């Protein structure tokens, strides 16, 4: 069979555009509830998506001691959400984000083993190390752990989890009522994991997960993050806006994996993609303007303050952007300096600069028709830039519905995407092998 695209749905209540939750088609009052998530997950399944991905930040949007109330709500607890969704879907892979910095391996191995059993082999874990200081404040610490240390702990965490998942051998569960033998102790062993961060005896009190392990996902972009991914990731989410960068990222990931004795077919690389679709190009462009007009001016100023790392909330938005003051306050990074130079040259007010920033996207975004989107996706896929995409509709569920009903059939007609699921397990659909049992 020829190589097929893999598709993830990156859920963010309301949508990935900052003003998505305000769009007329978005049910702002229902966001975050079971009916909303069920509708979106079932729509993704109708579109034959491989997986449904829930992120987690462990802090509320806040800056300089202020809470911000003009953006949509965040996701609730990912593992609880995904457990609930396993009951209303049949094939969709379910990927939850969990931090290795603020948990213990036994508990997490148990949660994902449970999720994999409950869902019949559809669990995935987006392994994050949580970089934000704001999260540390919620876990009895003042600052985040240093990045290198976070990733060392992350690797030890995964080693401990794998040892736990491997504790029950294949066939250890007998359920032989007549003989009174429920499971075979000869096929069950303690994990006995010992590393600088953890000491975990095990075994878990449940059989090996249906998929051996949940599919391990990673999204770190720094050198330690990328080495971590090269060692453990089976799917990688990444933010790439240029095809050349995506090609280089995929090639260098494969090269890095080879250093750890792993082959390219052991990973699926999925850049984020946020498409705004219309039945004509003009309609899509009109929707783009509609969304830009829905960005509340304070959201723009907030985003600008975050981008420049300089508080502008209390200024008059019609004042000129205080470029000299910002430069003086701190050493500007290259991207901030680019924005400052642009603002200076165009004598931008705070409001004007905010409007420009509010339109920018860190992930690849696309505005056009389903056919044009399919062309772009095909080009990236066939030129080695990716194995699929993590789709980030600008607003849900309407733009997801348009993608499912109008773009998916185009990809299917071109032989680029499945018409039916290959199987019920996430590993089968992603084309990933089940890790062999150790006993």
Ligand X SMILES: Cc1cc2nc3c(=O)[nH]c(=O)nc-3n(C[C@H](O)[C@H](O)[C@H](O)COP(=O)(O)O)c2cc1C
Q: Which is nearer to ligand X, 54 or 164 (CB)?
A: 54
Phi, psi of 436 (to 5 degrees): -65, 140
Q: Give the number of other Cβ atoms within 10 Å of residue 290's Cβ.
A: 13
In whole angstroms, give the CA distance from residue 103 to residue 72. Answer: 27
Both tokens assigned to 420: 């039916």
As a whole number of angstroms, the distance between CA 12 and CA 301 comes to 22
Nearer to ligand X, 105 or 225 (CB): 225
Closest approach, Cβ 31 to ligand X, in A, equals 17
Residue among 20 and 203 whose Cβ is closer to ligand X: 20
Least Cβ distance, residue 135 to ligand X (angstroms): 7
Closest distance of CB 395 from ligand X, Å: 18
Distance CA 424, CA 436 (A): 19
Nearer to ligand X, 147 or 285 (CB): 147
Tokens of 128: 């994050």
Tell the smallest beta-carbon distance from residue 187 to ligand X (Å): 36
Task: CB nearer to ligand X: give 147 or 262.
Answer: 147
Cα separation, 363 vs 306, whole angstroms: 17
Least gap, CB of 72 to ligand X (angstroms): 15
Cβ proximity to ligand X, 5 vs 269, nearer residue: 269
Q: How far is the CB of 417 from ligand X (least distance, A)?
A: 20
Length of the chain: 439
Long-range contacts of 224-228 (CB under 8 A, 24+ apart): 224/147, 224/148, 224/150, 224/151, 225/129, 225/147, 225/151, 226/252, 226/253, 226/256, 227/151, 227/256, 228/129, 228/151, 228/154, 228/155
Closest contact distance (angstroms) between CB of 400 and ligand X is 17
Tell me how far, at minimum, the Cβ of 201 lies from ligand X, in Å.
29
Task: Write down the least CB distance from residue 81 to ligand X, Å.
Answer: 12
Contacts of 299 (CB under 8 A, 6+ apart): 18, 19, 70, 71, 358
Contact by Cβ (8 Å): 164, 204: yes
Token pair 């924005």: residue: 339
Minimum distance between the CB of residue 191 and ligand X, rounded to whole angstroms?
Answer: 26
List b or e across 237-274, with b for residues whose CB sees 16 or more CB atoms inside 10 angstroms: bbbbeebeebbebbeebbebbeeeebeeeebbbbbbbb
Q: Which is nearer to ligand X, 97 or 119 (CB)?
A: 97
Residue 141 backbone zone (phi > 0: left; psi -120 to 50: alpha; other: beta)? beta
What CA–CA distance (Å, rounded) separates 181 from 326? 71
* Site residues for ligand X per CB under 6 A: 55-57, 97, 128-131, 147, 219-222, 225, 237-239, 272, 390
Q: Which of 11/323 has CB closer to ligand X?
A: 11
Q: Which is nearer to ligand X, 50 or 166 (CB)?
A: 50
State which residue, 103 or 341, has the beta carbon closest to ligand X: 103
Contact 19, 296 (CB under 8 A): yes
DSSP secondary structure, 316-328, as one string:
-TTSBP-HHHHHH
Comparing CB distances to ligand X, the nearer of 134 and 296 is: 134
Nearest residue to ligand X, by Cβ distance, number only: 225
Compute the least distance from the CB of residue 71 to ligand X, in Å: 16
Query: Which position has the token pair 């702002």?
Result: 28
């Amino acid at each position: 069979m020829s190589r097929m695209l893999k598709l993830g749905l990156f859920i963010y209540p309301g949508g990935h555009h900052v003003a998505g939750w305000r769009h007329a088609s978005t049910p702002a009052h229902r966001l975050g509830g079971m009916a909303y998530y069920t509708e979106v997950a079932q729509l993704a399944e109708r579109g034959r998506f491989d997986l449904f991905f829930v992120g987690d930040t462990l802090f509320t949007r806040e800056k300089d001691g202020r809470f911000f109330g003009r953006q949509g709500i965040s996701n609730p607890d990912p593992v609880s959400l995904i457990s609930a969704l396993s009951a209303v879907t049949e094939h969709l892979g379910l990927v939850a984000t969990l931090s290795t910095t603020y948990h213990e391996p036994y508990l997490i191995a148990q949660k994902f083993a449970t999720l994999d059993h409950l869902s019949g082999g559809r669990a995935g874990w987006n392994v994050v190390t949580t970089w934000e200081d704001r999260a540390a404040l919620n876990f009895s610490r003042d600052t985040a752990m240093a990045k290198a240390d976070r990733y060392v702990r992350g690797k030890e965490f995964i080693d401990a989890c794998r040892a736990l998942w491997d504790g029950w051998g294949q066939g250890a569960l007998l359920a032989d009522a007549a003989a009174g033998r429920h499971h075979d102790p000869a096929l069950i062993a303690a994990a006995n994991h010992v590393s600088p961060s953890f000491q975990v005896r095990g075994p878990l009190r449940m059989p090996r997960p249906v998929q051996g392990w949940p599919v391990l996902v990673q999204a770190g972009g720094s050198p330690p993050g990328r080495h971590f991914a090269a060692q453990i990731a089976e799917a990688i989410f990444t933010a790439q806006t240029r095809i050349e960068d995506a090609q280089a990222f995929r090639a260098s990931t494969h090269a890095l994996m080879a250093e750890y004795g792993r082959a390219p077919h052991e990973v699926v690389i999925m850049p984020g993609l946020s498409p705004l679709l219309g039945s004509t190009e003009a309609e899509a462009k009109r929707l783009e303007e509609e969304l830009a007009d829905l960005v509340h001016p304070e959201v723009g100023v907030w985003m600008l303050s975050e981008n420049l790392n300089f508080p502008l909330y209390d200024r008059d938005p019609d004042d000129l952007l205080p470029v000299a003051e910002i430069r003086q306050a701190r050493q500007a990074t290259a991207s901030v300096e680019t924005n400052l130079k642009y603002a200076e040259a165009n004598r931008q007010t705070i409001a004007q600069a905010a409007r420009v920033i509010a339109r920018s996207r860190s992930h690849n975004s696309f505005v056009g028709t389903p056919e044009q989107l399919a062309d772009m996706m095909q080009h990236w896929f066939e030129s080695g830039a990716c194995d699929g995409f993590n789709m980030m509709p600008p607003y849900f569920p309407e733009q997801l519905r348009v993608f499912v009903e109008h773009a998916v059939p185009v990809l299917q007609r071109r032989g680029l995407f499945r018409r039916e699921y290959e199987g019920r397990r996430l590993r089968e659909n992603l084309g990933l092998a089940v890790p062999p049992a150790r006993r």
